[in-house]
């Protein structure tokens, strides 16, 4: 039985395609594995941006932390524990100004924690500690960024893959939904294509 963590971040609410397809994948994984599902909706409950309390608190001895530092570290530890407990992680990210939503960036800022989720080994090479997990990354964009003239401006998927890999999450399956701003027919075709991709991902797991 697998433990599944779903992290969504789009501020578009019910209109969000990244949230829609990430949720479909997470619920499909739950059904196929007989597992449990935990949800972290970063749009409905945004995290604070990291500040001095977190930066100083995470390196201070617990007994010397101020109340603000203790709370900042407690929140970060809660987020890290959610990731550690998960066997399968599903992330939903909708492109905003060519990158991921700031809500998702804040989540990564909390869990990218020196000595806890990553460290530096021989020769100063970084080593992620959150290994042995599968990540499904659902990345939505109105334009087409997987190829063509706009591909160099995709600062979403490469950045998220890098952050995931930095903390040890290197087994990442990317599911894109893109090209939805070119009229109703193009939007329907894009959504249908992603729906087919999601079915394929889940069928492969079932097989």
Residue ranges at the known binding site for FMN: 10, 16-18
The two structure tokens encoding residue 134:
């599968």
User: What phi, psi does 71 have (nearest 5°)?
Assistant: -70, -40
Which residues fall within 8 angstroms of residue 154, CB to CB, at 6 or more apart?
A: 95, 98, 141, 145, 146
Residue 151 and residue 145 in contact, taking contact as beta carbons nearer than 8 Å: yes
Could you tell me which residues are annotated as the binding site?
Answer: 10, 16-18
Dihedrals φ, ψ of 132, to 5°?
75, 25
Kind of pairing, strands 88-94 and 118-120? unpaired
Judge contact between 13 and 104, C-beta under 8 A.
no
């Amino acid at each position: 039985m697998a433990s599944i963590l779903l992290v969504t971040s789009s501020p578009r609410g019910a209109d969000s395609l990244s949230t829609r397809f990430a949720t479909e994948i997470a619920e499909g994984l739950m059904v196929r594995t007989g597992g449990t599902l935990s949800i972290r909706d970063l749009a409905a409950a945004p995290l604070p941006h990291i500040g001095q309390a977190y930066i100083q608190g995470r390196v201070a001895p617990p007994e010397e932390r101020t109340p603000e530092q203790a709370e900042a570290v407690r929140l970060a530890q809660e987020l890290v524990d959610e990731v550690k407990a998960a066997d399968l992680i599903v992330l939903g990210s909708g492109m905003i100004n060519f990158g991921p939503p700031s809500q998702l960036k804040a989540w990564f800022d909390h869990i990218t924690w020196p000595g806890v989720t990553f460290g530096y080994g021989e020769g100063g090479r970084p080593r992620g500690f959150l290994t042995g997990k599968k990540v499904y990354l659902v990345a939505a964009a109105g334009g087409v960024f997987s190829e063509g003239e706009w591909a160099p401006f995709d600062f979403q998927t490469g950045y998220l893959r890098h952050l995931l890999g930095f903390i040890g999450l290197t087994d990442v399956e990317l599911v894109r939904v893109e090209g939805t701003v070119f009229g109703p027919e193009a939007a329907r075709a894009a959504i249908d294509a992603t729906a087919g991709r999601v079915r394929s991902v889940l069928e492969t797991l079932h097989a």
